[in-house]
Amino acid sequence: MDRRQETLIRRLAENHRLETEEYAALIRERDPESAALLAELAVAERRKWYGDAVYTRGLIEISNHCRNDCCYCGIRRSNRNCDRYRLTPEEIMSCCEEGYGLGFRTFVMQGGEDGYYTDDRLCPLIREIKARWPDCDVTPSLGERSRESYARLRAAGADRYLLRHETADPDHYAALHPPEMSFQHRMGCLKDLRDLGYQVGCGFMVGSPGQTAEHLAKDLTFIEKFQPEMCGIGPFLPQKDTPFGGEAPGSGELTCFLLSVIRLIVPRVLLPATTALGTLDPFGREKGLMAGANVVMPNLSPMSVRQEYALYDNKIATGEESAQSRDRLAERVRNAGFRLVMDRGDCARSE
């Protein structure tokens, strides 16, 4: 690590910001020594806000029907090899019931943009979950919807929403998505969610095709300005039936490096060690936690549909990735030096 790199890292830890070109230099010139210093500072920062707690969310993949055609995603509408399923509201309730029994207090309802899940279907479902388990949080992650729809879900009881921005560079966004999808619309959705009082999660894939250090630097500047409560980043992993099926996967090392940087930019952010990171590397989750992540999201979907939510090839959905194996997950988190806690785990408030 040269002098300039160390100066940037120490300034980032002190001020929680850098110039966009400085983020790019930090990424381009990284080496194991600078990654180790960043991780040490990131873990110390996380400890200030959250001690050794690692929060857990039960992930329910409610539908793999999707009207969108994102070039990287295995559930894109033009993938004819994807076996489509959709959980009924009753099936989602039984996932929550099982999850509640296992100790989960946050349910993330994720899915493709499925026209079946109108507000008129989602709102009663969210209300029912909140009525039966008032100590739980429901976090939809159902893509782009109208401001009015986000307002209705919020009024029904949703407190948080996850919507990755995917990339903060409009040209790169256009290279990853079909022409009918727009960067401005996605960013507009994030603004609407913020205006409506949600705790908002943004995020991006690391190593998506065409991504450069400059693109990642823009992502970091966006995160610095947006100050998300949650931020999901994981490596891009190819899915064979998509236009990007032959592309190389993203790097676990760079993902961990960026987890540390994001922890220093937004110290109190809830930062998952993602399924994609655990799929790329059997110790990916632990490495993510040791780089500054503090959330894990095991899978609570019915076993019968887990293979069908195939965003990328070889996605893990059993073993410690399964909500039913919570004790094994807790042990792995403990072995990495942390403590798995089951409560709602809201974002720590700023000073």
- Show the site string, 248-277: x = touches ligand SAM by CB under 6 A, - = not: ----------------------------x-
Angstrom CA distances, 228 to 190, 199, 266, 273, 326, stand at 10, 7, 8, 16, 27
163 interacts with ligand SAM by CB under 6 A: yes
For residue 43, give both structure tokens: 């873990």
Nearer to ligand SAM, 60 or 237 (CB): 237
Least gap, CB of 207 to ligand SAM (angstroms): 9
Least gap, CB of 101 to ligand SAM (angstroms): 26
Least gap, CB of 68 to ligand SAM (angstroms): 7
Least gap, CB of 209 to ligand SAM (angstroms): 10
User: Across the strands, what pairs with 106?
Assistant: 137
| Site stretch for ligand SAM (CB under 6 A), options 19-27, 109-117, 145-153, 176-184 | 109-117
Nearer to ligand SAM, 34 or 63 (CB): 63
Of 34, 139, 141, 299, the one binding ligand SAM by CB under 6 A: 141
143 interacts with ligand SAM by CB under 6 A: yes
Nearer to ligand SAM, 312 or 338 (CB): 312
Burial zone of 100 (CB within 10 Å; 0-12 exposed, 13-18 middle, 19+ buried): middle
Report yes or no: 85 and 325 within 8 Å, Cβ to Cβ.
no
69 interacts with ligand SAM by CB under 6 A: no
Interacting residues of 335 by C-beta distance below 8 A, sequence separation 6+: 286
Nearer to ligand SAM, 40 or 69 (CB): 69
Instruction: Compute the distance between CA of residue 126 and CA of residue 137 in angstroms, rounded to an integer.
Output: 10
62 interacts with ligand SAM by CB under 6 A: no
73 interacts with ligand SAM by CB under 6 A: yes
Site size with ligand SAM, rule: CB under 6 A: 19
Half-sphere exposure (CA, 13 Å, Cβ side) for 252? 18
Of 311, 323, 341, 347, the one binding ligand SAM by CB under 6 A: 311
| Site stretch for ligand SAM (CB under 6 A), options 6-14, 189-197, 236-244, 335-343 | 236-244
209 interacts with ligand SAM by CB under 6 A: no
Give DSSP secondary structure letters for 63-81.
E---S---TT-TT-TT-TT
Burial zone of 308 (CB within 10 Å; 0-12 exposed, 13-18 middle, 19+ buried): middle
User: Across the strands, what pairs with 166?
Assistant: 204
Interacting residues of 40 by C-beta distance below 8 A, sequence separation 6+: none
Which of 226, 225, 285 shows the shortest CA–CA distance to 259?
Answer: 285
For residue 237, give both structure tokens: 């992993």
3-state helix, strand, coil split of the chain in percent (to 5) is 45, 15, 40
205 interacts with ligand SAM by CB under 6 A: yes
190 interacts with ligand SAM by CB under 6 A: no
Nearer to ligand SAM, 103 or 302 (CB): 302
User: Across the strands, what pairs with 230?
Assistant: 201, 270
Least gap, CB of 148 to ligand SAM (angstroms): 18
129 interacts with ligand SAM by CB under 6 A: no
Which positions touch ligand SAM (CB under 6 A)? 72-73, 110, 112-113, 141-143, 163-164, 166, 205, 234, 236-237, 239, 276, 311-312
